Amino acid sequence: MSAAAPIAVTRRAPASAPPRWPVDDVEALFALPFVDLVFRAQEVHRAHHAPNAVQLSTLLSIKTGGCPEDCAYCPQSARHATGVASEPMLDVAQVRAAAHAAKDAGATRFCMGAAWRSVKDRDLDPVLDLVREVKALGMEACCTLGMLKDGQAQKLKAAGLDFYNHNLDTSPEFYGAIVGTRDYADRLDTLGRVRDAGIAVCCGGIVGMGESRRERAGLVAALANLDPYPESVPINHLVQVEGTPLHDRLGGESALDPFEFVRTIAVARITMPKSKVRLSAGRRELGDAVQALCFMAGANSIFYGDKLLTTGNPDVDADRALLARLGLVVASTAA
């Protein structure tokens, strides 16, 4: 799979200022001996966070399937034959019940995702009601609804939204090999609207899509050079779903060494020291031992619950047991 031509990154530090993290410097972190890298990441982690606390977030798909985008990893794209049907938006009662259950299970942030390229104004009003429901429970509210137009982020902020998720997915250089229906600049423009509205940013990416280490470094650099860098950084390990183009290209096998995933977590922690670095999709496939290494490398948040949008996730009891075995405690708040 050949990489596309580099795409200019905007919405970061002013052009007159050098990037805080040049890609060469980020790649040099990846190249450190494994134990040295993890030790350095743990030092950074302890300087900015409670060393043994993990924040729990729950993600619910409030509108599943039928997305017109062509993202090569995504089972919700209408362009891919994955068996994921297009469904209507969940109603307030369904979301309220799911949020109650998530809170009872220990989650402090409730994230709502909709399979849209961009949110239409007619769909935004019901989402605002959902945000208000989540906030009424005393939880942080997060949404991922695709691209935002002018004024929409302000409405979400007024409803009480705390975080907006909009991932960069991968590096600017590799992006064109994964997504053809949306430019990198489109993603950055939405992040700019979120920042302008005073909403905190949740932004990360996916690794294991056939990218090189240099391109993984490019993703971390793009995130770390956002001004400011995201408060929340979800790192996804690709879950290959049959029917998606990446399942065919990568042969159904994981293309990423698990230690390289841990390195990615460590580099994210070093370059974005104050962020919540979240283990997201693919945790079930990583297994307990690799997840433990990720916590050592500075991960301090997980998506919690039996499903992430349409892919499987470790069940709540398994996660509770793992945290107990590691002596990790659930953070009492998402802050």
Q: Which residues are catalytic?
A: 67, 71, 74, 111, 142, 202, 278
Q: Are the CB atoms for 200 and 232 separated by under 8 Å? A: yes
* The residue type at 149: K
Q: Tell me the CA distances in angstroms from 266 to 40, 53, 141, 244, 275, one per residue in order.
A: 8, 17, 27, 29, 12
Nearest Cα to 214, choosing from 25, 8, 13, 12? Answer: 25
307's CB contacts (< 8 A; 6+ apart) are 61, 313
- Angle at 167 (CA atoms; ends 254, 319), nearest 5 degrees: 60
Q: Which two tokens stand for residue 261?
A: 């995933």
The token pair that represents 40 in the structure block = 């350095």
